[in-house]
């Protein structure tokens, strides 16, 4: 069996979008990859992100919010930035990593009633899920 690939999902605060992607990639890639997520800041894992993932059967409650420098020694095969700010402020990774980018809306900035805010988290979760499925099919099938 070939070596596991290392995948890093990078966002500003490692709170919502990168955590959602980390959860789905871990689910879809299984033993094919080691999935990490980090931020250029750390804001803690957003409780609403945990909630909407649980609704879809993915448990990210054990995730931690990590600073990108913690993984400086990991040889990543893929680095996925999930917000424009992270892409612009992203540290330089070895050129061997395939870098991908998709700017997802930040559900932590959602406003409205509690239900409207939760629905925005669900909408972003569903966008992230689709991206994770596409990534898995494109790079790991």
What residue segments make up the domains of the chain, in order of their start?
A: 5-140
- Output 92 or 40, whichever has higher pLDDT: 40
Catalytic residue positions?
11, 83, 90
Q: Is the pTM of this model over 0.85?
A: yes
Mean pLDDT of 53-65: 97
Would you say residue 54 has pLDDT above 80? yes
Q: Comparing 1-5, 17-21, 82-86, which segment has the lowest mean pLDDT?
A: 1-5
DSSP state, residue 75: -
pLDDT in tens, 124-141: 999 999 999 999 999 998
Please provide the size of the chain in residues.
141
Mean pLDDT of 73-101: 81
Beta bridge partners of 78: 7, 98
Would you say residue 73 has pLDDT above 70? yes
Query: How many Å apart are CA 102 and CA 11, to the nearest integer?
Result: 10
pLDDT band, very low/low/confident/very high, at 50 (cuts 50, 70, 90):
very high
Fold of 5-140: Rossmann fold (3.40.50)
Selection from 4, 24, 16 nearest residue 136 by Cα: 24
Report whether 35 contacts 22 (CB < 8 A).
Answer: yes
Helix (H) or strand (E) holding 79: strand 78-81
Q: Comparing 28-42, 87-101, 114-128, which segment has the lowest mean pLDDT?
A: 87-101
Report whether 120 contacts 16 (CB < 8 A).
Answer: no
pLDDT band, very low/low/confident/very high, at 85 (cuts 50, 70, 90):
confident
Would you say residue 66 has pLDDT above 80? yes
Would you say residue 1 has pLDDT above 60? no
């Amino acid at each position: 069996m070939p070596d596991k690939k290392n995948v890093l999902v990078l966002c500003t605060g490692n709170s919502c979008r990168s955590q959602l992607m980390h959860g789905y990639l871990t689910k879809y890639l299984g033993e094919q990859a080691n999935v990490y997520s980090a931020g250029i800041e750390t804001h803690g894992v957003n409780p609403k992100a945990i909630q909407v993932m649980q609704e879809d059967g993915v448990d990210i409650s054990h995730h931690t919010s990590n600073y990108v420098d913690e993984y400086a020694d990991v040889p990543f095969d893929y680095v996925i930035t999930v917000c424009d700010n992270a892409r612009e402020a992203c540290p330089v990774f070895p050129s061997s990593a395939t870098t991908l980018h998709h700017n997802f809306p930040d559900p932590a900035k959602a406003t409205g009633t509690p239900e409207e805010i939760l629905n925005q988290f669900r909408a972003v979760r569903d966008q992230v899920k689709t991206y994770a499925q596409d990534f898995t099919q494109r790079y790991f099938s």
